[in-house]
Amino acid sequence: MAADVQHTLAGSATLEGTSLHTGEKVSLTLKPAPEGHGFKFRRTDLPDQPFISADVEKVQTVERATTLAEGSVKVHTVEHVLSALTGMGVDNALIEMDANEPPIGDGSSRPFVELIKKAGIVAQNATRKTWEIREPIHQEMGDGTLITIVPSKTFRVSVTNVGPEGRFTQYFSSEVTPELYEKEIAPARTFVYYEDVKPLLEKGLIKGGSLESAVVIRGNEVMSKEALRFSNEFARHKALDLIGDLILSGKRILGHVIAVKPGHGPNTKMASTLKVEYSRMRSMVPPVSIPKGETVLDINDVLKILPHRYPFLLVDRVVDFDGETKCTGIKNVTVNEPFFPGHFPGHPIMPGVLQLEAMAQVSSVLMLRKPENAGKIGYFMSADNVKWRRPVLPGDTLFIESEVIKIRGSIGQTRCRCLVNGEVVSEGELKFALMDR
């Protein structure tokens, strides 16, 4: 499965069963959805068949499960189906239900994985936007619960489950890929402590619960229809829930999620934090139309990749990567640039050759980020089809787009252009050699 494009379902598939908390019979159907749709639930049993987006802003309650609400319309226990869709690499899907809660099945997300495989998965044309976490995000709760997300080149979850009085303390850690999710995470079943069963029943919950749909822990004993599927099945199920809750942020991430005593409350709080942090990160980008991708390299990251320094560093930030072949950098042009005093004093204009150099530097970031090119340096070989279309003035924000069009051995060729306010100001095709420093 190509990881750099969005995926949806190839067709529809239906699962019938009993819901955990309400005990109602329910039919759930997964359907394909267009690019950029994300996950949405639809209550087909209600008038007008309303939709509810899988968005952390719709979270209403998190007691023993995650509930979404839009006005008076609710969907309960959404985490298992969302976890399965996320873990199996699906980005866009419509989840139709004729009741307010999905079927519980055996208490794991394996029935939903099987449903997804029955429907099939197909690639779409739009790029998958994955947010690469670049700074740790941390939160703690008063009961010893903590969730931290640290930078990583993959999506990984590490979970420590701690029960009452420290019972069944377990640890699980895994990268999350469709193959690993299906094998290592999806089969893990939900569990409940015996002392919690009566209070939950008194609250009108777990009406559809049974030893076929959950594992019950009584003291240090495990009550279950079958033996534990893993020695650390409870920690794995916590990882399953965590994946389903975090996707309510609306963003897939590259990062290592480390959780101790996670639960739906802390999970959805972290999903909300992710959404806020993502908005803050995007606010650093001027409100101009830009391409796809979600990685941001600040100036410190750029300095680690490029050998250039003041006054010849012409990239302030990289705001987008679209796969491994395209990226967009930014140069904020100010009147304090060292070239302005000598380039048309009284009518300052950014030299066209420096725009060309900015294109080369962004191209170098694109090429030098590859592990095999680490530590190398890019030397200009040629510039073709170069055109300057309008002057760049102090106060302009220069968006520098670069796309690799050919690479052979140590020789790379890119197509580049600079834009101001969405208008192309210069462009060209560059060829350069990657050499050891």
Catalytic residues: 264, 343
**358: closest CA among 394, 393, 306?**
306
Give CA–CA dist 235/232, Å, rounded: 6
- Token look-up 């980020």 returns 369
Give CA–CA dist 375/378, Å, rounded: 10
**333: closest CA among 319, 347, 315, 357?**
315
Give CA–CA dist 190/105, Å, rounded: 10
Q: Which residues contact residue 344 at a Cβ distance below 8 angstroms, ignoring those fewer than 6 apart?
A: none
* 235: phi then psi, degrees, rounded to nearest 5: -65, -35
Give CA–CA dist 25/23, Å, rounded: 7
**176: closest CA among 81, 55, 83, 78?**
83
Half-sphere exposure of 149 (CA within 13 A, CB side): 23
